[in-house]
Amino acid sequence: MRIAVIGAGVVGALIARELCRYEAEVLLFEREPDVGWGVTKANSGIVHAGFHDEPGTARARFCAPGNALFPKLSEELGIPFRRTGAYVLAFSRKDLGTLEELAAQGEANGVPGLEIHRREEVLSREPQVNPGVIAGLWAPTVGITLPWEIAIAAVENALENGLELHLDEAVIGVEVSRGKVRAVRTEKGSYSVDAVVNAAGLFADVVSRMAGLDGIELHPRRGEYVLLDETTGDLVKAVLFPAPTPKSKGILVLPTIGGGLLLGPNARDLPGDARDATETTREGLSEVISGAKRLVPDLPLGKAIKTFAGLRPESPQKDFVLGETGVKGFYQAAAMRSPGLTAAPAIAEWLSREIAMDLDLEEKPDFNPTRDPIPHPADLPEAEWEALIEKDPRWGRIVCFCNRVTEGEIVEAIRRGARTLDGVKFRTKAMFGRCQGGFCTDRVLEILSRELGVPPWEVAKARKGSRIIIGEVRP
């Protein structure tokens, strides 16, 4: 049996990994040159508890179970996950009513440990919070992670278990005959398949239409962010939410895995064709800053090192579209707005079991669920770092001074599939620190050029043609 998964974001990557547990050929198609470069690349990275979602929705069904899978996922795939807990902050009696509704909703969704704390308790735990706060809904299971690292790790692990990965290969057609899926067509060829999973993120409506299905309509909803450097991460311990609006969870302040603070996102609906519109705007960033200051008034904004934006795949039904369809063998993992990252591991387990039952697949006896992360010597005890240098001196040469990333890590990232500057950045955190690559991009580029055996002007930043260097000044 042959199964094609379309889209290597966090959702498609985890589904492909789960499908590799079964006796089947699994093919993963991604139109970008690397995995995790779609919606998965730019979001808040929160592992939500599940109290924001209305009972009865697919979001509510998969969020809390997804959250509960994160410790195991983190252990198996070597990805970062930290339970910080979260507060939803109330500044008025109306907000307090919202907190009570969220607590009841969370209980209905099976979210453990929710408590409403009084002002004094909130301020004793989070002294930087606006003193105008009157109460906070405490959710201890909320955590933070690095979404793109999950996609990278899941694909690496799936490759170990037999996945066939097709990067830089957009699916352009899905062949259906007599109500059953038969093949997928890409820019490079045609592949006969027994099942297809549509995990194409912002483009899941387009892929769905390829199979003759009209039920999904998506448009991008942009969220902009400001990232503060790693000296600011201790200002708050938990993820801080305002009371949500009907449109979004609101503008947040949260600690990041990298040790900084993230402010955002706002929520701006864009036209359906603006699916590459990840630019930030003056208006949007002002909105983010004033929203964040409402929660934490004394934010050290001079420590901002980056602004960026992500696009949510919004649908009129405001819910995930999951599972089997009117076309036999065509399955949806579509309209994956928030909390899609959190829900992804639970959806992957459930959907792969459904497909395995439909196709009568046996489990492989030798599936290996573990993947070793790239070692980061700066986090290791000195003796272990020295042992690495003993084997290869490149593990002792620091290239990115902000995040103390060594040449050994960069070479290992390239060995595991990085072909671009962003590929190295998302695998190692080189160029991800305070200077945002100002001091090390040229060194990383040199290493990529040397290891890949191509001239430096052929090394792309991300997509094909996004070059940093265009040629030699003097031959």
Indicate whether 141 belongs to the interface with ligand FAD (CB under 6 A): no
**Rg of the chain, C-alpha, whole Å:** 22
Which of 462/469 has CB closer to ligand FAD?
462
For 38, residues 6+ apart whose C-beta sits below 8 A from its C-beta are 7, 9, 32, 201, 202
Size of the site for ligand FAD (CB under 6 A): 41
CB 222 within 8 A of CB 311: yes
For 438, residues 6+ apart whose C-beta sits below 8 A from its C-beta are none
Indicate whether 10 belongs to the interface with ligand FAD (CB under 6 A): yes
Binding-residue pattern over the window 346 to 385 for ligand FAD, x denoting contact by CB under 6 A: ----------------------------------------
Indicate whether 12 belongs to the interface with ligand FAD (CB under 6 A): yes
For 253, residues 6+ apart whose C-beta sits below 8 A from its C-beta are 236, 239, 240, 261, 262, 263, 292, 295, 296, 299
Chain residue at closest Cβ approach to ligand FAD: 340
Tell me the two tokens of residue 431.
């160029």
Indicate whether 261 belongs to the interface with ligand FAD (CB under 6 A): no
* CA–CA gap between residue 156 and residue 418 (Å, rounded): 12
Q: Which of 218, 262, 336, 361 binds ligand FAD (CB under 6 A)?
A: 336
Minimum CB separation from ligand FAD for residue 340, in Å?
A: 2
Which of 10/253 has CB closer to ligand FAD?
10
Residues in 204-243 at the binding interface with ligand FAD, rule: CB under 6 A? 207, 223
Which of 32/287 has CB closer to ligand FAD?
32
CB 470 within 8 A of CB 450: no
Residues in 151-210 at the binding interface with ligand FAD, rule: CB under 6 A? 170-171, 199-203, 207
- Catalytic (active site) residue 219: no
Indicate whether 411 belongs to the interface with ligand FAD (CB under 6 A): no
Q: What distance lies between CA 247 and its chain's CA centroid?
A: 21
Query: Which residue is catalytic, options 48, 52, 117, 166?
Result: 48
Which of 156/409 has CB closer to ligand FAD?
156
For 85, residues 6+ apart whose C-beta sits below 8 A from its C-beta are 138, 139, 140, 141, 142, 237, 238, 239
Sheet with 2-6: list strands edge to edge: 164-166, 25-29, 2-6, 195-198, 330-334, 321-324
Which of 450/464 has CB closer to ligand FAD?
464
Minimum CB separation from ligand FAD for residue 174, in Å?
A: 10
* CA–CA gap between residue 12 and residue 36 (Å, rounded): 9
Residues in 414-473 at the binding interface with ligand FAD, rule: CB under 6 A? none
Indicate whether 405 belongs to the interface with ligand FAD (CB under 6 A): no
With tokens 């039920």, the residue in question is: 215
Residues in 45-64 at the binding interface with ligand FAD, rule: CB under 6 A? 45-46, 48
Which of 144/448 has CB closer to ligand FAD?
144
Indicate whether 406 belongs to the interface with ligand FAD (CB under 6 A): no
Which of 313/408 has CB closer to ligand FAD?
313
Tell me the two tokens of residue 58.
């697919």
Tell me the two tokens of residue 424.
């190295």
With tokens 């059953």, the residue in question is: 180
Indicate whether 292 belongs to the interface with ligand FAD (CB under 6 A): no
Q: Which of 342, 406, 420, 441 binds ligand FAD (CB under 6 A)?
A: 342
Q: Which of 136, 258, 265, 408 binds ligand FAD (CB under 6 A)?
A: 265
* CA–CA gap between residue 81 and residue 72 (Å, rounded): 10
Indicate whether 106 belongs to the interface with ligand FAD (CB under 6 A): no
Of the candidates 265, 248, 46, the one whose C-alpha atom is nearest the C-alpha of residue 139 is 46
CB 21 within 8 A of CB 352: yes
Which of 260/408 has CB closer to ligand FAD?
260
Indicate whether 24 belongs to the interface with ligand FAD (CB under 6 A): no
Burial class (CB in 10 A: 0-12, 13-18, 19+), 368: exposed
Dihedrals phi, psi of 171, to nearest 5 degrees? -80, 130
Q: Is 118 helix (H, G, I), strand (E, B) or coil?
A: strand
With tokens 């990252």, the residue in question is: 341
Minimum CB separation from ligand FAD for residue 148, in Å?
A: 8
Stretch that binds ligand FAD, among 33-41, 124-132, 322-330, 352-360 (CB under 6 A): 33-41
Mind telling me the catalytic residues? Answer: 48
Q: Which parts of this chain interact with ligand FAD (CB under 6 A)?
A: 6-12, 29-32, 37-40, 43-46, 48, 147, 170-171, 199-203, 207, 223, 265, 310-312, 336-342
